[in-house]
Structure 1
Amino acid sequence: MNSTVLSALAALVGAIIGGLTSVLASWMTQRTQARADWLLQDRARRQELYKDFIEEASACYVHALQHGEPDLHSLASLYAKINRMRVQSSRQVVEEADRIGRAIVDTYLSPDRTFVELREMLADGSIDILIEFGSMCRAELESLRAQQF
């Protein structure tokens, strides 16, 4: 083979390899960035959902402690959030949210609490039915943060 042809062929192969390397590196960078963006958005959606659930569950629970007649609109909104969690969240978070929903419904069936009883519940911590839910959500969000990096 002629050395000129060999040089031209080597240059052509080098250019092809360089081009493919550049395309592959660009594709990998875009893929990594897209995954990081998706995880960041997923985490933000979950945070917003958990925040809304905590606010709604707290309001429903306080209402249930003081009234025998349920606020059906608030309960429907609470269960809509639980069902959104079924799509986005881990099984443990959903199970804990379900437990909270059932506890709220059961609370409507119990006698209304007086202000003194509510104060005692605050003092002994029994009023906070969302502690375990918060811990599970924090663990889930931290695992999402770890996947991002």
Structure 2
Amino acid sequence: MNASVISALAALVGAAIGGLTSVLASWLTQRTQVRAEWLAHDRVRRQELYKEFIEEATKCYVDALQHGEPDLHSLANLYAKISRMRVQSSRKVADEADLIGRKIVDTYLAPDKTFVELRQMLADGSIDILGKFGEVCRAEFESLRAQQF
């Protein structure tokens, strides 16, 4: 074989390897960026859902503490959010949201609370039915953050 042919083949192979390396690096960078954007979007979507759930659950719970007749429209909105969590969230978050929904329904069946009873519930912390939900959501967000890196 002629030395010029070997040199030409070596140059072609080198150029091919360099081009392939460049394409592979670009693909990996693009893939990483898309994944990071998807995770950020997913996180924002969950944060919004959890915020809406907390607001709706709080309204329903306060109503349940003061009235024996349920606000069916608010309960339907609450359970719609729980159903969305079953699709978008971890099982722990969805299960905790479901427990909150059940507690609210059970509260409608209990006797109405007086202002003095509400004050006592605030003092002993029993009024906070969303505390565990917040902890589970925080753990889920930490897990999502760990996946991002």
**Bin for the TM-score computed over the shorter chain:** over 0.9
Deviations 1:115-148 (A, max 9, x none): 1111110010000000100000000011101111
Alignment of 1:97 onto 2:87: no
1:14-44 residue CA offsets vs partner (Å, 9 max, x unmatched): 0000000000000000001111111111111
Which sections of structure 1, spanning at least 5 residues, go unmatched? none
Q: Which amino acid aligns with 1:85?
A: M
Provide the rounded CA distance (Å) in 1 between the counterparts of 2:72 and 2:18.
65
Q: Which residue of 1 aligns with 2:76?
A: 76
Q: CA RMSD in A?
A: 0.6
**Superposition TM-score, scaled by structure 1 size:** 0.99
Amino acid at match of 2:117: E
Which residue does the alignment assign to 1:109? 109
Cα deviation per residue 1:21-74 (whole Å; 9 max; x = unaligned)? 000000000001111111111111111111110111011000000001100110
The aligned runs of 1:1-149 (5 Å cut-off) are: 1-149=1-149
Structure 2 residue matching 1:107: 3-state secondary structure: helix
Structure 2 runs not aligned, ≥5 long: none
Amino acid at match of 1:19: G
Percent of aligned pairs with the same amino acid: 81
Higher relative contact order (CA 8 A, sep 6+): 1
> Following TM superposition, where does structure 1 have runs of at least 4 consecutive aligned residues deviating by more than 4 angstroms?
none
What TM-score does the superposition give when structure 2 sets the normalisation length?
A: 0.99
